[in-house]
Amino acid sequence: MKAKTADKIATGVIYGIAASVAFVLIAMLAFILVRGLPHLSWHFLTAAARSFEAGGGIGIQLFNSFYLLILALLISFPIALGAAIYLNEYAKPSLFITIVRTAIEVMSSLPSVVVGLFGFLIFVVKFHLGFSILSGAIALTIFNLPILTRSIETSLSQIPNLQREAGAALGLSRFETVIHVILPASVPSIVTGVVISAGRVFGEAAALIYTAGQSAPTLDFTDWNPFNLASPLSPFRPAETLAVHIWKINSEGIMPDLSAVSAGASAVLIIVVLLFNFSARRLGNLLYKKLTNS
């Protein structure tokens, strides 16, 4: 077989594999959106869920999902950023660094249900936090931290060493070089990684079933005292998220419009995750232009 012929066949096989993957993804998204979009309305997005009657919505579950995501990122991002800076800018090859990197790799491959069971035993039972947003946020931190650390470290490693040498030539310390040179240059990649990981966390269910709980108590949106369990800001209340709600109504739901609620909630979940992914690069570029004045 001639080299050109073999090259064309190999290229065709690669294109075929890529097209098949894209087709499966598009078909799955189209199926979910076609089934779910007709059921979406303002009432569905803001109303409380109903267990035994038709006409319920996903308002509280949607709020819980965003609130839990924000808390998880507030905890995990500073830790991941500091760990990534240390590993990429300061760490030298040693047994300790090898152990740390191995631990990150192992943690990033843990099934989410294992993280959920660990969170249940430690935070819910041992620390007596109960089924709460705080327990769920810590479990999501464990789930998201290794992935976020690797993403930020990769972003930092893509910055050419020439910029680090330029900072040293200007008399900047290593820390000043990282803060004023390396981080601004890596903002687009960091933001992209954070937003994509946020979309992954937003759709997580297994880790939250055992930590944040499977109930969504009625919230008083006029009460913003975080120490009141009826307050939306309380981190000590149970919080059924959108992904957990979808799992729950499909496994044990008895409302008459079960199919409509499940389809609509699934469509909302997919749309939010897609928005996270599509906005990642755009937001990163905007921040890069602002920080670098380019």
Phi, psi angle pair for 121, to nearest 5° = -70, -40
Distance CA 24, CA 10 (A): 21
Residue 15 vs residues 4, 9, 19, 30: alpha-carbon distances, Å: 16, 10, 6, 22
Nearest to 56 by CA among 71, 45, 66, 67: 45
Mind listing the pLDDT tens digit of every residue in the chain (294 residues)? 677 788 888 888 899 999 999 999 899 989 999 998 888 888 888 888 887 777 778 888 999 999 999 999 999 999 999 999 999 888 888 888 889 888 888 888 888 888 889 999 999 999 988 899 999 999 989 888 888 998 898 888 888 888 888 888 878 788 888 888 888 888 888 888 888 888 888 888 888 899 988 887 778 888 888 888 888 888 899 888 888 988 888 887 778 888 888 888 999 999 988 888 888 777 777 776 776 665
Nearest to 229 by CA among 243, 246, 209, 215: 215
Residue 253 vs residues 62, 78, 258: alpha-carbon distances, Å: 18, 39, 7
